[in-house]
Amino acid sequence: MSLASPFSLSLVAITGLAFLGLPIGHAMIAGSILYLMLSGLDMGTAAEQLLNGMYFNYIILAVPLFILAAELMNIGSMTDRLMAFCNAVVGRFRGGLAHVNILQSIIFAGMSGSAIADAAGTGKMMQQLMTRDQRYPPSYAAALTAATAVIGPIIPPSIPMIIYALVSDASIGYLFLAGVVPGLLMALSQMIIVVFDAHRRGFPVEPPTPLRALPGITWRALPTLMMPVVLLGGIYSGVTTPTEAAAIAAAYALLVSTVLYRSVSLGDFYRSVLSSARTSASIGMLIAGAMVFNYVVTVENIPQALSAFLTARDLSPTGFLIIVNIALLLLGCLLEGTTILLVVVPVLIPTAQALGIDMVHFGVMVVVNIMLGLITPPYGLLLFVMTRIAGVPLRRLVRDVFPFLWAMVGALGLITFFPDLVLWLPRLLGYGG
């Protein structure tokens, strides 16, 4: 491929515009239009690809609905009751608040599907609780909160898995099921680090919650704890599609926060809808830009060329997965996760299919890689979010997050080399892969 070819110039334009501060979605649309113009193709194709992609992909509607559900939970008292329940269950152990942080992320993961929503919502609350009276160093609390937020999009529901399903045609229901065991593995790896750090650094033991108080705490938190049951039960029973389940999740969060808990004002509701709309618009523009650019990639036969190149190297499925892991971990240091899902992953899928790799297993592995990129310097978005929330220097946050990162990379290795860990639950419920 010549450096002066339309595709090369398109890549240069996208990269240059992104470095100049233009949102990557807009940059991809501009670069794609440049490619069409230089290639002598109809530039209206860009609008056609954008509109057709957004109009015919009904599943995209699930993204803003899950974002709205997370926002509604954050403004109500649902997260407060969730915290009280988690503290009653694991707060009595050494480093109890750190374990509470991990447990609440596991439960909250079944509601929001977004790592940023987890960090900005319950994560912000955990940061305040852990640093009160100097019980935990601020940088350690922020590092743990960033690491636990990674669990959110792995345990269902998951916005990245919805986007992966969009580009791979894999079943969203089975992808959601496949994320449960890997998500719990990630949480277990974090708890092992916390246990080690708690004894080495002398973290405090929280006053135990009396057992007689546990039923009352559980009862008050029950509507919140039932949300994943309502959400996932509808999907796996066949009553609702994932998109319809996302709408039910948002309606359920609104109902619980306003009617049962009575903790949401009209102003709070307006601000949550506005915040959800802004986030959804930015993601939607990124998806639109990627759809246009993916048309350019398809015209250039990039996926087929890469598949032929890798097949000629006689790679085994394991060798291919190792290369993909390394590539995605490195890309995660520099690129936003949705960009990787929409631009890079579609190029890898034909090779994975040719090698006989299960698309559900591959999707979970890809999503885990991308989530680890959120806490990998220098780009790691969660690192910047927690730096702003906690008010700690980035270098200290990176120092404290590395043990958790390495532990989760170990869990990623298990997920990669033992597909049955990922596919056991989907197969139990009828998956034929």
Q: Comparing 230-244, 270-284, 337-351, which segment has the lowest mean pLDDT? A: 230-244
Residue 432: Cβ within 10 Å count = 6
Report, as an integer, the average pLDDT of 108-128. 65
Domain locations in the chain as residue ranges? 42-428
Report, as an integer, the average pLDDT of 418-424. 93
DSSP 77-128: SHHHHHHHHHHHHHTTSBTHHHHHHHHHHHHHHHHH--HHHHHHTHHHHHHH
What pLDDT sits at residue 357? 92
Q: How confident is the model at residue 124 (pLDDT cuts 50, 70, 90)?
A: low
- Could you tell me the pTM of the whole model? 0.78
| Average pLDDT over the chain, rounded to an integer | 81
Taking the CA atoms of residue 342, residue 347, residue 348 and residue 353 in that order, the dihedral angle to the nearest 10 degrees is 110
What pLDDT sits at residue 152? 79
pLDDT (tens digit per residue) in 156-168: 878 888 889 888 8
Of 380, 292, 302, nearest to 337 by C-alpha is 380
- pLDDT at residue 247 greater than cutoff 60: yes
Q: How confident is the model at residue 59 (pLDDT cuts 50, 70, 90)?
A: low
What pLDDT sits at residue 123? 66
- pLDDT at residue 234 greater than cutoff 60: yes
Report, as an integer, the average pLDDT of 262-279. 82
Distance CA 383, CA 376 (A): 8
Residue pair 167/366 in contact (Cβ under 8 Å)? The answer is no
Six token digits for residue 392? 């700690």
What pLDDT sits at residue 49? 66
Q: How confident is the model at residue 76 (pLDDT cuts 50, 70, 90)?
A: low
Report, as an integer, the average pLDDT of 320-325. 90
Six token digits for residue 212? 């007689």
DSSP state of 136: S
Report, as an integer, the average pLDDT of 142-162. 86
Six token digits for residue 128? 């305040």
Report, as an integer, the average pLDDT of 8-33. 83
